Amino acid sequence: MSQRFGGRYSPEAGKTPGTEEAPPAFHGARVSPVGARANLMFLPPALLGLSALFSGATGLVTGLAGAAVWTAGAMLLREGLKAEAAFEERKIARRPALPRKVFAAGLSALGTGLASVTHGGGPLEAGLFALAGGGLHLAAFGIDPLRGKGLDHIDAFQQDRVARVVDEAEAYLSEMVEAARRAGDRAVESRVERFRAAARALIRTVEDDPRDLTAARKYLGVYLMGARDAAQRFAEIFARSRDSGAKADFLALLDDLETSFGKKTEKLLVDANSDLQIEIDVLRDRLRREGVGLDRPAK
């Protein structure tokens, strides 16, 4: 009988039966929603501020004001793109409370008008340039989501509950990532990102079926808050002393948390499948009582 080759240099070396390979560090990573177009919006205020230095007193004031307004608009646009990406990723979400992209377009229009005045334009020209600048900004980047989204069969109150818990959980995860960055260790950053992917898998499961919120609320609230606090405390200690023992303890905590979150996600998925099977069986019983044949074709 043939046998599979194995040895020290075999691809399977070092693996023990029953163990699963950890997911790669980039698992669950997301591309930043802020692209080159948004970053280029910081270039016009820099050029306007530089040119205003050679435009006299009135031109200097209006030019610097226009540059400041343009910069504020570019920063608001970045935040708007991030909020829109987070909204699109979720299945149940409330619309952004502040329409950042619309306000960014308004600031862009105002900055364009001030730039026109800086270079000798009259009120009519400044207004036309402002109108064109705001319109082009909206055409390039669009507007913010104006309505919340959710599942049709879930009432608004339940959707709001899920949205609040998800927002809170995402805030805890973001604070964990920031704490890991302050620690200044790439291995810790990668490990926290992997845990965030596991936590987001549970979040997506709850969004798919909000009835699971009660069972998962402790994980998305209490446990994530504790993990956030542990990450912040670890960052303070490790940034000062580079204590390898503290790092090992923190990584072990993340291992336990990831395992716990993974098991909870799997359990919720199994329960959802069980609910589906129950609904199918009930429907079949009703059809049989109505005299509808349910004989399956032979394979």
Question: Which tens digit of pLDDT belongs to each residue from 129-155?
Answer: 999 999 999 999 988 888 776 655 566
C-beta pairs of 98-101 under 8 Å, 24+ apart in sequence: 99/143, 99/144, 99/146, 100/76, 100/144, 101/76, 101/77, 101/141, 101/142, 101/143, 101/144
- Write down the pLDDT at residue 274: 52
**Contact indicator for 230, 238 with CB cutoff of 8 Å:** no
Distance, CA of 30 to CA of 260 (rounded, Å):
23
Which residues are CB-neighbours of 288 under 8 A, at least 6 positions away?
294
Q: Above 70 in pLDDT, residue 299?
A: no
| Predicted confidence (pLDDT) per residue in 145-197, tens digit | 887 766 555 666 677 777 788 888 889 999 999 999 998 888 899 999 999 98
Number of neighbours of residue 268 by Cβ within 10 angstroms:
19
Distance, CA of 191 to CA of 240 (rounded, Å):
20
Q: Which two tokens stand for residue 46?
A: 């820099």
Distance, CA of 154 to CA of 160 (rounded, Å):
10
DSSP conformational letter for 21: P
**Region 249-265: what's the mean pLDDT?**
88
> What phi and psi, each to the nearest 5 degrees, are found at residue 93?
-155, 150
| Predicted confidence (pLDDT) per residue in 24-71, tens digit | 545 555 666 777 888 889 999 999 989 888 888 888 899 999 999 999
Q: Which two tokens stand for residue 1?
A: 């009988």
**Region 201-221: what's the mean pLDDT?**
79
Query: So where are the chain's domains?
Result: 36-141, 156-288
**Region 216-231: what's the mean pLDDT?**
87
| pLDDT range class, residue 89, cuts 50, 70, 90 | confident
**245 or 290, which is more confident:** 245
Single pTM value for the model: 0.56
Distance, CA of 84 to CA of 73 (rounded, Å):
16
Distance, CA of 67 to CA of 114 (rounded, Å):
9
- Write down the pLDDT at residue 72: 94
Q: Which two tokens stand for residue 94?
A: 């409330």
| pLDDT range class, residue 18, cuts 50, 70, 90 | very low
Q: Above 70 in pLDDT, residue 253?
A: yes
| Predicted confidence (pLDDT) per residue in 97-120, tens digit | 789 999 999 999 999 999 999 888
Q: For 9-117, where are the E strands, in sequence order? A: none
The overall average pLDDT reported for the chain is: 79
Distance, CA of 121 to CA of 218 (rounded, Å):
61
- Write down the pLDDT at residue 267: 80
User: Reduced to 3 states, what is the DSSP secondary structure of residue 93?
Assistant: strand
